[in-house]
């Protein structure tokens, strides 16, 4: 099994190492890459092709793992050369993934999405896949990957990821707003306690962590919510998603990302109370 990667960041390098350990041959292309990326590739032991054309022609499964804004561009570049199955694993909206995969002329395409952290889970990270060749992509389970086919249509896997992400970001925003207000009234611990009575046993610890993450990653989350609001904006007005977007936008503007992740939400709340005086 020959697996090719377009792009070689954290996702590609982590998956590559795991796939090779499980007997797959892994390739990428070094054309136009920075010295840092070339060194990264050399370290993992992945084989290279001099051109993307050759990479695309020789891969059984070709996985695009680039920055979201480049997803369509790279599909266009290799669209007429891809002989095997083309997999877009980038963090993009269902509409973008459909437009991207439309560039692949042989039509053997898969929409894939990573659920959870590659950093924490390695090659075993949860990957969901949809599209006409999702079952064939899922053969990589024989090479250490953890793939679940969720449908046969491009856009479904990305849609699941984005809707899940909208929900979890929303919960963080709700927690932040309620507990911050409670903090100002001196009742934050009690609000957490009484919410926890209808939640999971570890709710309070996880809520505190979510509040801190909300502030620490506010800017990035507002960018991700932009994509989600665009996806949801159709006949119905996605009022909750828009609220989450506004929430993270305002929080990101108010709070400068500290160098170190705060260990307690008090630090964040005190800072916000000071600048709002």
Q: Least Å distance between CB 199 and its own copies?
A: 7
Q: Pick from 77, 163, 204, 255 the residue near its own copies by CB under 8 A.
A: 163
Q: Which is nearer to its own copies, 122 or 182 (CB)?
A: 182
Q: Least Å distance between CB 182 and its own copies?
A: 5
Beta-carbon contacts of 68 under 8 Å, excluding residues fewer than 6 positions away, are 90, 91, 92, 96, 227
Q: Rg of the chain over CA atoms, in angstroms?
A: 21
Q: Pick from 7, 131, 155, 252 the residue near its own copies by CB under 8 A.
A: 155
Stretch that binds its own copies, among 41-49, 59-67, 162-170, 257-265 (CB under 8 A): 162-170
Q: Which is nearer to its own copies, 1 or 187 (CB)?
A: 187
Q: Pick from 39, 42, 105, 167 the residue near its own copies by CB under 8 A.
A: 167
Q: Which is nearer to its own copies, 119 or 167 (CB)?
A: 167
Asked if 149 interacts with its own copies (CB under 8 A), we say: no
* Strands of the chain, DSSP E: 2-6, 25-29, 47-49, 61-64, 85-88, 109-115, 126-130, 146-149
Q: Which is nearer to its own copies, 3 or 174 (CB)?
A: 174
Asked if 268 interacts with its own copies (CB under 8 A), we say: no
- Residue 212 in tokens: 């801190």
Q: Least Å distance between CB 160 and its own copies?
A: 5
Asked if 156 interacts with its own copies (CB under 8 A), we say: yes
Q: Least Å distance between CB 59 and its own copies?
A: 28
Q: Pick from 174, 212, 218, 225 the residue near its own copies by CB under 8 A.
A: 174
Q: How far apart are CA 110 and CA 133, in angstroms?
A: 6
Q: Would you mind telling me the total number of residues written for the chain in this entry?
A: 277
Burial class (CB in 10 A: 0-12, 13-18, 19+), 44: middle
For residues 41-80, which are near its own copies according to CB under 8 A? none
Q: How far apart are CA 143 and CA 3, in angstroms?
A: 10
Question: Given phi > 0 = left and psi -120 to 50 = alpha, else beta, which region is 199?
Answer: beta
For residues 237-266, which are near its own copies according to CB under 8 A? 237-244, 246-247, 250
Q: How far apart are CA 268 and CA 212, in angstroms?
A: 8
Binding mask 185-214 for its own copies (x = CB under 8 A): xxx--xx--xx-xxxx--------------
Beta-carbon contacts of 232 under 8 Å, excluding residues fewer than 6 positions away, are 166, 238, 241
Beta-carbon contacts of 224 under 8 Å, excluding residues fewer than 6 positions away, are 91, 165, 169
User: In the 3-class helix/strand/coil scheme, how is 3-51 assigned residue by residue?
Assistant: EEEECCCHHHHHHHHHHHHCCCEEEEECCCCCHHHHHHHHHHCCEEECC
List interacting residues with its own copies (CB under 8 A): 94, 115, 126, 128, 150-151, 153, 155-156, 159-161, 163-164, 166-168, 170-171, 173-175, 177-182, 185-187, 190-191, 194-195, 197-200, 232, 235-244, 246-247, 250, 272, 276
């Amino acid at each position: 099994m020959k697996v090719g990667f377009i792009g070689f960041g954290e996702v590609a390098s982590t998956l590559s190492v795991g796939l090779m350990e499980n007997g797959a041959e892994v390739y990428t292309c070094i054309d136009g890459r920075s010295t840092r990326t070339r060194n990264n590739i050399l370290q993992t032991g992945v084989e290279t092709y001099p051109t993307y054309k050759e990479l695309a022609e020789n891969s059984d499964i070709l996985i695009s793992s680039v920055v979201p804004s480049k997803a369509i561009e790279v599909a266009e570049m290799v669209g007429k050369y891809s002989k095997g199955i083309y997999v877009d694993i980038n963090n993009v909206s269902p509409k973008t993934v459909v437009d991207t995969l439309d560039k692949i002329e042989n039509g053997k395409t898969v929409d894939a999405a990573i659920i959870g952290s590659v950093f924490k889970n390695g090659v075993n990270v949860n990957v969901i896949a949809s599209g006409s060749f999702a079952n064939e992509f899922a053969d990589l389970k024989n090479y250490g990957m953890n793939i679940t086919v969720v449908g046969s249509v491009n856009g479904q896997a990305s849609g699941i990821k984005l809707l899940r992400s909208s929900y979890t970001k929303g919960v963080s925003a709700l927690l932040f707003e309620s507990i911050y207000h409670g903090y100002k009234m001196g009742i934050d611990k009690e609000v957490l306690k009484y919410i926890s009575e209808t939640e999971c046993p570890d709710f309070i610890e996880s809520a505190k962590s979510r509040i801190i993450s909300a502030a620490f990653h506010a800017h990035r989350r507002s960018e991700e919510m932009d994509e989600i609001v665009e996806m949801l904006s159709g006949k119905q007005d996605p009022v909750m998603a828009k609220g989450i977007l506004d929430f993270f936008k305002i929080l990101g503007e108010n709070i400068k990302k500290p160098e170190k992740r705060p260990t307690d939400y008090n630090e964040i709340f005190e800072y916000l109370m000071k600048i709002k005086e």
